[in-house]
Chain A
Amino acid sequence: MGLLTDPSAEPSKFTKILTNHNTKINVILYVVGAVGFCLLAHPAVNYRNYFSENALLPGLVHSEFRDDSSAKLYYRELLDEMKTYDNSMPYPWLLAKFRQIGLEVYIHNFTLNYPLKRSQKFHGKNVYAILRAPRAASTESLVLSVPYRPPLSIFQTTAPSIAIMIAFAKFAAKGNYWSKDLIFLITDHEQLGAQAWIEAYYGVQCGKEGVLEHGDLEGRAGSIQAAINLELHDFNLRNIDVKILGLNGQLPNLDLFNLANKLCAKEKIPFTFRGRRNMYDYRYEPFRYWKEALHTMMSMLGSQMSGVPDGNHGLFHRVGIQALTLEGFSEEKGSRTDFLVLGQLVEHTFRSLNNLLERLHQSYFFYILSDSTRFVSIGIYTPVLITMASTLILKAAGIWFTEIIKEYEKFKKKEDYFKNNKIKETNREIYEQVVKEQASLEKVDYVALGKIVLMAHTFGLLALASPPYLLDLMSYLGYNYSTETTIFVGFAIISLLLLFFPIYDGSVKKNASTMKTMNMVISLELGAIVICLLIINVALGVALIFLWVPAALFINPTENRRYSFLQKITWLFVHPLVLTTVAVTIYVVANFRGEEFEKTMGRSFQAASQAIVYSIVDSMVYGNWFYNICLGVFFPIWLLFWYLAFADLSNDVVEAAKEKKNK
């Protein structure tokens, strides 16, 4: 137990290496980690998907769904009905169809009080039907949901999915093998309806109190085991794309993904993930294969980062239900699918889920998909990412141990002095000398440090709470800009004002030991937060590791003007607001090529301000953490590093030079 009981103050070899070569070690670790991360896409490192849950028994049953004719009929009827309802659901038709089949049908009302504008309200109605299980008591259930899209919706239609759902319900009502209730859910207003329904089902509130009034449900089934969301835009499909990203970056159990994958393969429907499928064979074209896989990984992480679900399934994750969306894209010619194939796909999926003996829990919950058939497990990506994140901790450790070694050297000097010299002074004289010596030392000003840290965090919290007040202020001043513009400009002004934060307390910035301690403390804070994020939302953690960690490693108090200037520029670039704007601009430029510069800039400004408002609204309606973490956690850390970049160590350097001369 040398760790604890070694009382000799001599620093170990390890400590010396860590302090003397701190920068080198950090750079090497970071680069090794980055290379390792890119290699994760290689098939030698990741696994092929496999089933862990034996009870699923995918595709073992003989398919009995033959009723594609009624699906076609429902589809035609629905198209006719939809013509009379421009912007809402054909409720009577839906209710009638489910009743005809013999299911319990209910309507669920909900209201959204738009959080950024008082008095603005939206109403919505979901329709859901329950098929009670003939084999068991209503203790467990499965959900098949479809978001209803009226003709005026900007999204692609989901009418074929509803036709298939009703046809499947008709088929399932005859089955005597169901041991779980089936819930058929048609939601209004995209994710809002799904969120309200889930909240009403469980009687919980995920977002801010009083924003989404979820209302109540008249009928309930058992506890929901899994949910499948259908977004089939046609019945002649080119491919089925599976969407898995959930709220706050949560993912469904990998077994559910495997199930969808396997059943699509059984029905011979091309299966993609994020619209891609690796067509290269890694034995013959390893580099191309790897590039494609890395691209898929990055595409997944890029969308996962903001924590916005890419379909209604993502909201089920919040309450511990495994769910995914099957999205089908249409193709005019040569499609292999029709209503029969799609109905059989749904039948197989649900009959397989019907076999579940307990909740899906066997397989992975934390993974990155590098292809529709391969994944990187948490056990493989964590070490790589921790290697990169630990550089911050090592930087802090380097600063800490440098101080320890300095103290040790002082101690050693004293020891040598007393060993080799005859002491003539009395004890009291020695004591006075020591006291004088100590008084002349520069001390860490913990009080000032505490003030700065506390202030930065307070600013972050104030900025977090500011949007409603910004809007109030604007209406008070009598201007009439849109919500988006107000909030974007408001944040920009707040950020600009806080750029002057380092003006505060000039003497601390010249105190080298305080600045070093600050460097240590905030590096540790950022390091710990990155490691925590890797567990909650790996994509956000990865983004931080690639954008912030190198910049934060770069920022060290210095006396060199040019180096200091470079630090400030670097750190300005990773300001959350700047990053948002840059990311959105890149997206806009990539999507609208060949436009004039001014138009592109206007478009990206609009998009960036909209993105910010969406993230605020998402945090209030769905309980998305992205906005809260950005302003409550990242922004204060940004401010603290910004303060640190203004440290002025010229005095310290002069003194060190003096000391050297004296020697």
Chain B
Amino acid sequence: MPRNITLILTNYFVGIAIRLWLFFIDYNTIFMNRVEISTPLNSWRRVVEANYISKISNSPNPYESDVIYEPPLYHMFYMVLSNLFGEQIYLMFIIADILTSYCLCVAGKKYLETLFKKEISNIDDYLPDAVNFIIKEQEIESVDVYIVAAYMLNPYIIFNCVGYTTTVFQNLYLGLFFVGIVKKNVFLASISLAAAISQSFYPILLLAPLFVTFNDKRFNATLVTTLTLIISGLILIISSFLNPKWSYLNHSLKFILSAPDFTPNIGLFWYFFIEMFEHFRTLFIYSFQLNVIALYVIPLTLRFRQDPVLLTTSLLGIITIFKSYPSLGEVGFVLAVLPFWKHLQFYMQQGLLTSVSFFMVTLLAPTVWHLWLYSGSANANFYFGATLAFATAQIFMLTDLLFAYIKREYIIKYGCVKECDGQEAVLLLE
């Protein structure tokens, strides 16, 4: 067997073994109860409860209480799955993770191969000093190993999996979306994106990369985008058949947008809205949501329209930082996509800072949580500090990635010699 395949299989094996071990230790419920891992939106316990309610009462409507916050079609899907797997439900989460990592692996390999082919076939067009910096074959040869490792052995993804969250499905849809846009498969891209949008709304931002991908002669980009929206609308309409009234929207879309649940999580909403006077609520809900949905998508799309994969990653990063109920599984997904840009490693400057912050916060957050809620010796500010540091680390990571990309773009285009009128020049971003 080639070395890569052996390594990938080892990654899968170790990843599955760790997951199984964590599913069966005594302390498994810790993961389920951690607020960093399961939010009201993605917790599997709520799904189980909703299943139970649907089974016992005559008019099965779990949407009338604060139980489940995903559209009824998804709830039905989970019901089918949990009937199918029964006691072995943990297998379902593991399988979803395996599929996602495989999708990312396929997408990443294809993306880098396309990049490599493009640069190597145009090699004569580059300046001689820029040739040093185009992508090399050995840089992409083992990238699949890294991608699989970054997903299967990623602690955040593992926590997400053993914490029983529906984010594993969200990640699966997004993984499929990556495959769709890399392979230019309209069907796959729009279906998976529609599924993601109706599940958690925020992926609606990914319509931008979808549009950009299919914006060429073969496809009609506007049609593709509209179609995706229509599909996700259809999902909602079918849901309304499953559930007598449209009232379920109050417990899915409205819940996401108005963020009424203040249980702490790794996001930035809860602390702010706890501390704020009630009559400013509407104003700040609008500003917080506009910050995620409207502020970054247009400039990023304009700047990175050539590279929808990078655009998708950066938008996903922004969603996870600023959305109303983020969870570690989503952060883990963004981290798992990073090996796509292994060739940018040289240009990234904040690697140490971000990785140290991630590690520290991962240790500190549960610690201060314990001190706050069990020992009574710390308070909410400590925990909020940790989440703030976490968001900052993510922002640093994302910005660093984008700057690295731009820097490489510049060097490829103009070469590494920086000279302006015979004098040494300095690159500035203004």
**Which residues on A are within 8 Å of B, measured CB to CB?**
3-9, 208-209, 250-251, 317-320, 359, 361, 365-366, 393, 396-397, 400-401, 404, 407, 411, 414-415, 418-419, 423, 425-428, 430-431, 434-435, 438-439, 446-447, 450, 454, 524-525, 528-529, 531-532, 535-536
A423 in contact with B128 (CB, 8 Å):
yes
> Which residues of B are found within 8 Å of A393, using beta-carbon distances?
356
Name 16 extra pairs, CB < 8 A, besides A419-B419, A435-B137, A535-B364. A6-B349, A318-B374, A318-B375, A418-B129, A418-B416, A423-B128, A423-B129, A427-B124, A430-B132, A434-B131, A434-B132, A454-B14, A525-B359, A528-B363, A531-B360, A535-B368
14 example contacts (A-B, Cβ-Cβ < 8 A) are as follows A6-B349, A320-B374, A361-B376, A400-B352, A407-B346, A411-B416, A414-B416, A415-B416, A427-B124, A430-B132, A434-B131, A434-B136, A524-B359, A528-B360
Cβ-closest 5 pairs across A and B:
A320-B376, A365-B377, A418-B129, A423-B128, A7-B427
Q: Which of A320, A415, A525 contacts B129 (CB 8 A)?
A: A415
- With A5-B403, A426-B124, A524-B356 already in contact, the answer to whether A532 and B138 are too (CB < 8 A) is no
> Which residues of B are found within 8 Å of A426, using beta-carbon distances?
124
> Which residues of B are found within 8 Å of A365, using beta-carbon distances?
375, 377-378
B318 → A minimal CB distance (Å): 16
Encode contact with A along B338-355: 1 for CB under 8 Å, 0 otherwise. 000000001101111001
B123 in contact with A439 (CB, 8 Å):
no
B364 in contact with A397 (CB, 8 Å):
no
- With A8-B427, A435-B137 already in contact, the answer to whether A528 and B132 are too (CB < 8 A) is no
Q: Which of B231-254 contact A (CB under 8 A)?
A: none
B415 in contact with A418 (CB, 8 Å):
yes
A533 → B minimal CB distance (Å): 9
A428 to B123, CA, bound (A): 7
B360 in contact with A439 (CB, 8 Å):
no
B123 in contact with A7 (CB, 8 Å):
no
A310 to B120, CA, bound (A): 71
> Which residues of A are found within 8 Å of B364, using beta-carbon distances?
531-532, 535
Majority DSSP secondary structure for residues of A touching B: helix
B145 in contact with A7 (CB, 8 Å):
no
Q: Which of B120-166 contact A (CB under 8 A)?
A: 120, 123-124, 126, 128-129, 131-132, 134, 136-138, 145-146, 149, 153
Q: Which residue of A lies closest to B407 (CB)?
A: A7
> Which residues of A are found within 8 Å of B283, using beta-carbon distances?
none
B153 in contact with A4 (CB, 8 Å):
no
Q: Which residue of B lies closest to A206 (CB)?
A: B374
B129 → A minimal CB distance (Å): 4
Q: Which of B129, B356, B400, B427 contacts A414 (CB 8 A)?
A: B129
A430 in contact with B131 (CB, 8 Å):
yes
Majority DSSP secondary structure for residues of B touching A: helix
B1 within 8 A of A: no
A635 to B376, CA, bound (A): 30
> Which residues of B are found within 8 Å of A415, using beta-carbon distances?
129, 416-418
Q: Which residue of A lies closest to B136 (CB)?
A: A435
A418 in contact with B429 (CB, 8 Å):
no
B340 → A minimal CB distance (Å): 16
How many B residues touch the partner, as a band?
35 or more
B7 within 8 A of A: yes
Q: Which of B26, B123, B370 contacts A427 (CB 8 A)?
A: B123
Q: Which of B379-430 contact A (CB under 8 A)?
A: 396, 399-400, 403, 406-407, 415-419, 426-429
- With A415-B418, A524-B359, A531-B360 already in contact, the answer to whether A431 and B131 are too (CB < 8 A) is yes
A7 in contact with B124 (CB, 8 Å):
no
Q: Which residue of B lies closest to A535 (CB)?
A: B367
Q: Which residue of A lies closest to B376 (CB)?
A: A320
> Which residues of A are found within 8 Å of B378, using beta-carbon distances?
365
A427 to B370, CA, bound (A): 60
> Which residues of A are found within 8 Å of B134, using beta-carbon distances?
431
> Which residues of B are found within 8 Å of A528, using beta-carbon distances?
356, 359-360, 363
- With A427-B124, A528-B360, A536-B367 already in contact, the answer to whether A317 and B375 are too (CB < 8 A) is yes
B96 within 8 A of A: no
A532 in contact with B131 (CB, 8 Å):
no
> Which residues of B are found within 8 Å of A438, using beta-carbon distances?
136, 138
Q: Which residue of B lies closest to A204 (CB)?
A: B374
> Which residues of A are found within 8 Å of B7, using beta-carbon distances?
447
> Which residues of A are found within 8 Å of B426, using beta-carbon distances?
8
A7 in contact with B377 (CB, 8 Å):
no
B371 within 8 A of A: yes
> Which residues of A are found within 8 Å of B419, using beta-carbon distances?
419
Q: Which residue of A lies closest to B120 (CB)?
A: A431
> Which residues of B are found within 8 Å of A532, using beta-carbon distances?
360, 363-364, 367
Encode contact with A along B312-338: 1 for CB under 8 Å, 0 otherwise. 000000000000000000000000000
A429 → B minimal CB distance (Å): 9
A637 to B146, CA, bound (A): 24
A317 to B416, CA, bound (A): 62
A317 to B375, CA, bound (A): 6
A366 to B346, CA, bound (A): 43
Interface hub of A251, A427, A528, A531 (most chain B Cβ within 10 A): A427
A397 to B378, CA, bound (A): 30
Q: Which residue of B lies closest to A441 (CB)?
A: B138
A401 to B353, CA, bound (A): 11
Q: Which residue of A lies closest to B425 (CB)?
A: A8
> Which residues of A are found within 8 Å of B400, using beta-carbon distances?
4
A399 → B minimal CB distance (Å): 10
> Which residues of A are found within 8 Å of B149, using beta-carbon distances?
450
A529 to B346, CA, bound (A): 29
> Which residues of A are found within 8 Å of B407, using beta-carbon distances?
7
> Which residues of B are found within 8 Å of A8, using beta-carbon distances?
426-427
> Which residues of B are found within 8 Å of A3, using beta-carbon distances?
350
Q: Which of A4, A9, A419, A425 contacts B350 (CB 8 A)?
A: A4
- With A435-B137, A439-B138, A536-B367 already in contact, the answer to whether A427 and B359 are too (CB < 8 A) is no
> Which residues of A are found within 8 Å of B429, using beta-carbon distances?
5, 7
A4 in contact with B399 (CB, 8 Å):
yes
Q: Which of B4-60 contact A (CB under 8 A)?
A: 7, 14, 26
A508 → B minimal CB distance (Å): 15
B367 in contact with A4 (CB, 8 Å):
no
A585 to B145, CA, bound (A): 50
A284 to B286, CA, bound (A): 66
A5 to B26, CA, bound (A): 47
A550 to B138, CA, bound (A): 40
Q: Which of B254-307 contact A (CB under 8 A)?
A: none
A87 to B226, CA, bound (A): 83
> Which residues of B are found within 8 Å of A404, using beta-carbon distances?
349
A419 to B419, CA, bound (A): 9
A450 in contact with B375 (CB, 8 Å):
no
A185 → B minimal CB distance (Å): 20
A256 → B minimal CB distance (Å): 12
